[in-house]
Amino acid sequence: IEREICASQTELTPCLFEYVYLARPDSIMDDVAVYKSRLRMGEKLAEHMLKAWPDHDIDVVIPIPDTSRTSALQLANVAGLKYREGFIKNRYIGRTFIMPGQAQRQKSVRQKLNAIDLEFRGKNVLLVDDSIVRGTTSKQIIQMARDAGAKKVYFASAAPPVRYANVYGIDMPSRSELVANGRTDEEIGEFIGADRLLYQRLEDLIEAVREGNPEISRVDASCFDGRYITGNVSADFLQTVAGARSDQAKAQRTEALDVAEISAYH
């Protein structure tokens, strides 16, 4: 048996995006209950919304299934708004932000969700999602809400703008494919077609996680602030990652796998 110490000094540095999106709500990670952290995300997002937009005209809060449900429900509770389920999810469609190709992502969004017209017709709705990555899903869902009869469609994200690539295990798009790259919040809102867009503040997201475990003194928020905790992520490395994660690269890998499967049958 051989033992090797890879790091002489270690520090607990959990990834924020896991709590926002990836983890199951019944998980407990680093002594933080994911469900409770998402409740706090909704609470802090509501407080931010009420300060930034005290004269809002929102009729109803509707989550984008499934991950955002907890945060959306708590936002509605804190803000004193109605909460309704407005979308029915097809559970046989995977996560769209990692799918190769814009056309495939757009097709999958329509296959994944169906709107309940009665919950939208004639109303000013606030759609709540866990995050906005490419903007593909958000843009189509907002259009679906309008097609279902919504008067106005507002959008809130339980996470801050995703502006940078993640290099620590999440197959996130290259930075150039992120909708928040090089855009202001107003420009993102215009791109996705929202009447108004509200993001969670990074400091509030950090606090929503840390409240579950005060021993956490540092977090990995690199996809939000571009600060890579290992300190050795160079521009060349990021360029290599971007090339490997681009739609073109994924399409080439998919084509190669298809060819290999066909060859295996002959």
Whether residue 196 lies inside any domain: the answer is: yes
Lowest-confidence pick of 33-47, 94-108, 156-170, 245-259: 94-108
CA distance 229 to 232: 8
Whether residue 8 lies inside any domain: the answer is: no
**Domain encompassing residue 211:** 16-231
Give the CATH number, domain containing residue 80.
3.40.50.2020
Mean pLDDT of 37-65: 98
CA distance 157 to 189: 11
- Token pair 């769209």 in the structure block, residue: 96
- Token pair 């209950």 in the structure block, residue: 33
pLDDT over 90, % of the chain? 68
Look at residue 171 in the predicted model and tell me its pLDDT.
Answer: 82
Whether residue 211 lies inside any domain: the answer is: yes
Look at residue 101 in the predicted model and tell me its pLDDT.
Answer: 52
If you average pLDDT over every residue of the chain, what do you get? 90
Whether residue 2 lies inside any domain: the answer is: no
Total number of domains constituting the chain: 1
State the alpha helices, DSSP H only, in the chain: 16-17, 34-52, 69-79, 102-112, 136-147, 185-192, 202-210, 222-225, 235-245, 247-264
pLDDT(7) > 80: no
Tell me which amino acid residue 245 is: R
Whether residue 30 lies inside any domain: the answer is: yes
Whether residue 210 lies inside any domain: the answer is: yes
Look at residue 173 in the predicted model and tell me its pLDDT.
Answer: 84
User: For 201-235, what is each residue's pLDDT tens digit?
Assistant: 999 999 999 999 999 999 999 999 999 998 889 98
User: Model confidence at 9, in pLDDT bands (50, 70, 90)?
Assistant: confident
User: For 127-143, what is each residue's pLDDT tens digit?
Assistant: 999 999 999 999 999 99
Residues 6+ apart with CB under 8 A from 94: 108
With CA atoms as reference, report the closest residue to 172 among 134, 219, 129: 134
The answer to whether 126 and 60 have CB atoms below 8 angstroms apart is yes
Whether residue 251 lies inside any domain: the answer is: no
Four-point Cα dihedral 136, 155, 224, 49, nearest 10: 180
pLDDT over 70, % of the chain? 86
User: For 81-102, what is each residue's pLDDT tens digit?
Assistant: 999 999 999 876 655 454 455 5
Whether residue 259 lies inside any domain: the answer is: no
Mean pLDDT of 236-252: 79
- The pTM assigned to this predicted structure is 0.85
Beta bridge partners of 89: 113
Mean pLDDT of 110-134: 95
Mean pLDDT of 4-19: 86
Q: What letter does residue 21 receive in the DSSP assignment?
A: I
